[in-house]
Structure 1
């Protein structure tokens, strides 16, 4: 079981490297991706999170646990605790995106960043990606609003980008013209 001790923290240089594409999906890779998914699920369960000292998260990318692999797990629940977005993505790549941008009004956080960085991070409102599942099957995924923001945050991790890199240093809390809060 992954815990916070397994998550590397900024300024670890591994967080700034572009992750390598996965050439072969072997059992070790599948197990690692399942452990990543289990972390985000466990971190959203109050009892489990408290017992193991887990910070809550909705996504985790392989570089955050020191793996040089282009893979990420995303798990988002509704208000009743039922999963509404549950993805394990291997070699995800953006196929297309909207022109319209969005942002989380409270800003973003990260399991690998212990400091608070106030500011808005502008992301595409809608994004379509291609990825592989754990059996190696290619599929497309279209997301909008908050799930699209989460996906783009995780994709940034695969390219060595941290969320605070995207904050406008001159006007951190100013929404871009035309950008709307994520829903």
Structure 2
């Protein structure tokens, strides 16, 4: 929202980049190129960390850079190139962290919602089209609906906070990451997943 570029969804950046060619927006195009480049570097760095993981806590190592970046950005100079590079790199790390995430046994994505939205629609379509209600299908439809609504709610809260507190709105991300880390550590330790959830 802040720079007119996406740090997590590179397909969207490519589409926006192509549209910039018609508008001759060099700075906007450069920001998108930097986002794609640094997201890719972050993602590959995340793969490197994952491939050498000894415990399930490798995910925490990949979350911490975004936690730090989101916490310090309001204190850094307002250099859009710097902000986009830092956010794209740390988001790339985060992306690999939750690749193959599942709600129960159904895969979902955390940084974009188009796939979740499609799965929600298909689940509701199949549930409504059946004569006999299938509890598993209903649960799947509800889970995807909760995921989509949560994504939209987060986006609305973020947009509202930008209007209220400007650059400090990113601290909402910091708070969410702290909660994710806390929950992940608790679940991993409680269920003894340190060695098995690689």
Structure 2 length-normalised TM? 0.27
Larger helix fraction of residues: 2
Q: Which has the larger radius of gyration?
A: 2
Larger strand fraction of residues: 1
